[in-house]
Amino acid sequence: MVRTPLERGVEVGGCPVPEDRLYDLERDVWIRSDPDGTATVGILGPLAWFAGPFVQVRFREVEGRIAAGRSVATVESVRYTGAVRLPIEAEIVGRNPAIVERPRLLNDRPYDEGWVVRVRPARPVSGSADGLGTAATIAPALLERIRTQHIRCWPQVPDLELYEIGIECSAILTLLNEELARRPAGTAVLLVTDDPTSPIEMVRWSDQTGHAVLAHRTEGNLHEFLVRKEAHPAPRRRPRG
Segments making up each domain of the chain, as ranges: 9-148, 160-228
User: Is 9-148 assigned to CATH 3.40.50.2300?
Assistant: no
Task: Categorize the per-residue pLDDT at 240 as very low, low, confident or very high, splitting at 50, 70 and 90.
Answer: low
The pLDDT of 11-21, averaged and rounded, is 90
Contact between 106 and 96 (Cβ < 8 Å): no
Name the band, by pLDDT with cuts 50, 70 and 90, for residue 201.
very high
What digits encode the pLDDT tens for the residues 24-72? 999 999 999 999 999 999 999 999 888 988 999 999 998 899 999 999 9
What are the DSSP calls for 158-171, one per residue?
Answer: -SEEEEE-S--HHH
Residue 239 has pLDDT above 80, yes or no: no
Q: Which amino acid is at 7?
A: E
Mean pLDDT score of the chain: 90
The architecture in CATH of the region 160-228 reads 2-Layer Sandwich (3.30)
Q: State residue 4's pLDDT score.
A: 40
Q: How many CB atoms lie within 10 A of CB 20?
A: 14
Determine if the pTM surpasses 0.85.
Answer: no
Q: Is a pLDDT exceeding 90 seen at residue 129?
A: no
pLDDT score of 1 more than 60: no
Residue 117 in 3-state DSSP?
Answer: strand
Each residue of 169-195: pLDDT tens digit?
889 999 999 999 999 999 999 999 999
Nearest to 214 by CA among 4, 72, 54, 9: 4
Q: At residue 95, does pLDDT exceed 50?
A: yes
150 confidence band (pLDDT: 50, 70, 90)? confident
Close Cβ partners of 228 (under 8 Å, ≥ 6 residues apart): 2, 156, 186, 187, 188, 189, 211, 212, 214
